[in-house]
Amino acid sequence: MQLTDAIHSRISARGFLDKPVAEATVRQVIDLARHAPSGSNMQPWQVHAVSGKLLERVIKESLAFAEEHPIGSREKEFQTPTENFIQPYKSRRYAIGMGLYDALGIDRKDKVRRNEQLLQNFYFFGAPVGLFFSIPRCLMPGQLGDLGIFMGNVMLAAREFDLHTCAQGFWQDVQPVLHDVLDISDDYFIFNGMALGHIDPDHAANSLVSGREDVDAFCQFAGFEQ
């Protein structure tokens, strides 16, 4: 697959087919992604690729945890305070959220169905594989960008194998469960989860089109002679 095609065909998939992905394929995705650059080549990423019964356990225990600690109620270590979401970021966040509800036919005022959609994150939107990305705490926040670049590579590499992804900051809300079930040391910060699998092309959530600003809206060119 050409890079251009990988970039243009990648979306955050929120509906997957009930079709397994072999460990060997996930390994190939990660094997491609590991060529990501990082500061001083420190490669500060750790990945837990989870499927099958263990994934079911992650989901079950996370749901139980969220009963006691509702999503959004826990103070997160590295969360942008809501008041920092100034314009134009505030409008963009709102637009993508509402766009998703519209795609799913959820009334914007229907808190119950909105919450049900949020909870789909627990199920990785039906994907058979959950990836968890963590970083040694001692390298925070300096190397967090490295982890982001690596995750971007994973998302694009997945396209080479006809797979789709959805990055999930959501999992920060249930970090204690992940440390426990996946036996991740407290010395690591679990930054994100990611659903990985075969996209369901007919799922309404996947009809959501997320726009992007034109280059001139955020890039200043200077000093070029041509």
Ligand X SMILES: Cc1cc2nc3c(=O)[nH]c(=O)nc-3n(C[C@H](O)[C@H](O)[C@H](O)COP(=O)(O)O)c2cc1C
What are the distances in angstroms from CA 61 to CA 113, 116, 223? 22, 18, 55
Q: Is residue 178 within 8 Å of residue 188, measured between CB atoms? A: no
169 near ligand X, rule: CB under 6 A: yes
The least CB distance from residue 50 to ligand X, in Å, is: 16
Q: Which of 14, 48, 159, 164 binds ligand X (CB under 6 A)?
A: 14
CB-based burial, 95-118: b 16+ in 10 Å, e otherwise? eeeeebbebbebeeeeeeebeebe
The radius of gyration computed from the CA coordinates of the chain, to the nearest angstrom, equals 18
Under 8 Å between Cβ of 203 and 127: no
Q: Which two tokens stand for residue 209?
A: 């089109």
β strands within 106-199, DSSP E: 129-136, 164-168, 188-197
For ligand X, the closer CB: 11 or 149: 11
Choices 19-27, 37-45, 133-141, 160-168 (CB under 6 A): range interacting with ligand X: 160-168
Sole binder of ligand X in the list 156, 166, 181, 190 (CB under 6 A):
166
Per-residue binding string, ligand X, 97-126, x by CB under 6 A, is ------------------------x-----
Give the count of residues interacting with ligand X (CB under 6 A). 12
Q: Looking at 10-18, 42-50, 76-84, 181-189, which segment touches ligand X (CB under 6 A)?
A: 10-18
Instruction: Answer yes or no whether residue 143 interacts with ligand X by CB under 6 A.
Output: no
Q: Please give the biggest Cα pair distance in the chain.
A: 61
Q: How far apart are CA 35 and CA 178, in angstroms?
A: 26
Classified as helix, coil or strand, 49 is strand
Interaction of residue 159 with ligand X, rule CB under 6 A: no
182-221: contacts with ligand X (CB under 6 A): 192, 210
**Part in contact with ligand X (CB under 6 A); list of ranges 11-19, 21-29, 108-116, 139-147:** 11-19
Kindly state whether residue 88 participates in binding ligand X, applying the rule CB under 6 A.
no
Q: How far is the CB of 4 from ligand X (least distance, A)?
A: 15
What does the binding site for ligand X look like in residue numbers (CB under 6 A)?
11-12, 14, 96, 121, 166-170, 192, 210
